[in-house]
């Protein structure tokens, strides 16, 4: 079997904010796994289902839809059950999608599911691709025509009801060419140079000197 799992970011509710990559994943897959908070696996209240349905209509295609009961209780057993649905679905269908609202990098359960897949189905884990999307706050900023950061401002994303100590991921942008990166501190750094462009380089640590303006650093929160 030629397994493939796409973790598809759906954007914040408007089908026109889906990426071409997301639409291509829908075109190429055999089934789409869609979260629902309803115990009876119906989709009456599912925003994700509405976006997926709109996208399939736009593409004029039909796909098998697999409900994934996702009560959003932040409970490991729920994530295990959800991951099991992905594992079982991938035994039946070569290419499957799992969808998540907004962008997958922002408070999405997909990384909890991936941790479980890594333990339980290494092959499926290694055949997973995450498709980035538009975040709710990018779309919100555009709707009111107000930028999130300008000039020397910085941007905070704050969980309103944290369950434990709040850890921070830093996004470091707009470096000076030739600058020494010592001042950025130490931590779990990645460096992205010319991402998606010619001469792309992604380094799993902090480079010492900045060579290009199109350089972005991510300093990930310390996770166990």
Ligand X SMILES: C[S@@+](CC[C@H](N)C(=O)[O-])C[C@H]1O[C@@H](n2cnc3c(N)ncnc32)[C@H](O)[C@@H]1O
Rounded least distance, CB 123 to ligand X, Å: 27
Residue nearest to ligand X (CB): 102
Pick the closer one to ligand X by CB: 101 or 113: 101
Pick the closer one to ligand X by CB: 90 or 135: 135
Angle at which helix 110-120 crosses helix 76-92, to 10 degrees, equals: 60
Alpha helices in the chain (DSSP H): 20-28, 47-59, 76-92, 110-120, 122-126, 136-143
Which positions lie near ligand X, rule CB under 6 A? Answer: 12-13, 101-103, 106-108, 135-136
Pick the closer one to ligand X by CB: 132 or 207: 132
- The tokens of 58 are what? 């736009």
Rounded least distance, CB 72 to ligand X, Å: 8
CA dist 186 and 172 (Å) reads 13
- The tokens of 84 are what? 């099991």
**Please, are residues 205 and 190 in contact by the beta-carbon 8 Å criterion?**
yes
The residue among 180, 171, 182 whose CA lies nearest residue 221 is 171
Pick the closer one to ligand X by CB: 103 or 193: 103
Query: Would you state the torsion angle of the CA atoms of residues 126, 127, 128, 131, taken in this order, to the nearest 10 degrees?
Result: 130
DSSP 60-126: T---EEEEEE---S--HHHHHHHHHHHHHHHHH-SEEEEEESB-TTTT-THHHHHHHHHHH-HHHHH
Rounded least distance, CB 207 to ligand X, Å: 28
Rounded least distance, CB 89 to ligand X, Å: 22
Pick the closer one to ligand X by CB: 102 or 175: 102
Rounded least distance, CB 12 to ligand X, Å: 4
Rounded least distance, CB 9 to ligand X, Å: 7
Pick the closer one to ligand X by CB: 71 or 187: 71
């Amino acid at each position: 079997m030629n397994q493939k799992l796409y973790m598809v970011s759906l954007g914040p509710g408007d089908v026109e904010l889906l990426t071409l990559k997301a639409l291509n994943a829908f075109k190429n897959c055999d089934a789409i796994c869609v979260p629902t908070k309803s115990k009876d696996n119906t989709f009456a209240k599912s925003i994700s289902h509405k976006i997926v349905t709109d996208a399939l209509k736009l593409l004029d295609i039909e796909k098998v839809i697999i409900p994934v009961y996702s009560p959003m209780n932040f409970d490991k057993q729920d994530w295990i059950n959800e991951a099991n649905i992905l594992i079982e679905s991938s035994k039946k269908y070569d290419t499957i999608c799992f969808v998540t609202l907004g962008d997958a990098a922002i408070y999405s359960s997909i990384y909890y599911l991936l941790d479980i897949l890594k333990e339980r189905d290494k092959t499926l884990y290694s055949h997973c691709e995450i498709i980035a999307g538009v975040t709710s706050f990018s779309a919100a900023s555009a709707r009111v025509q107000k930028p999130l950061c300008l000039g020397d401002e910085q941007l905070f994303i704050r969980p309103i009801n944290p369950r434990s100590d709040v850890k921070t991921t830093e996004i470091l942008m707009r470096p000076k060419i030739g600058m020494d990166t010592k001042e950025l501190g130490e931590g779990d750094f990645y460096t992205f140079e010319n991402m998606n462009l010619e001469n792309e380089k992604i380094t799993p640590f902090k480079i010492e000197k900045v060579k290009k303006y199109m350089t972005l650093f991510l300093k990930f929160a310390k996770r166990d």
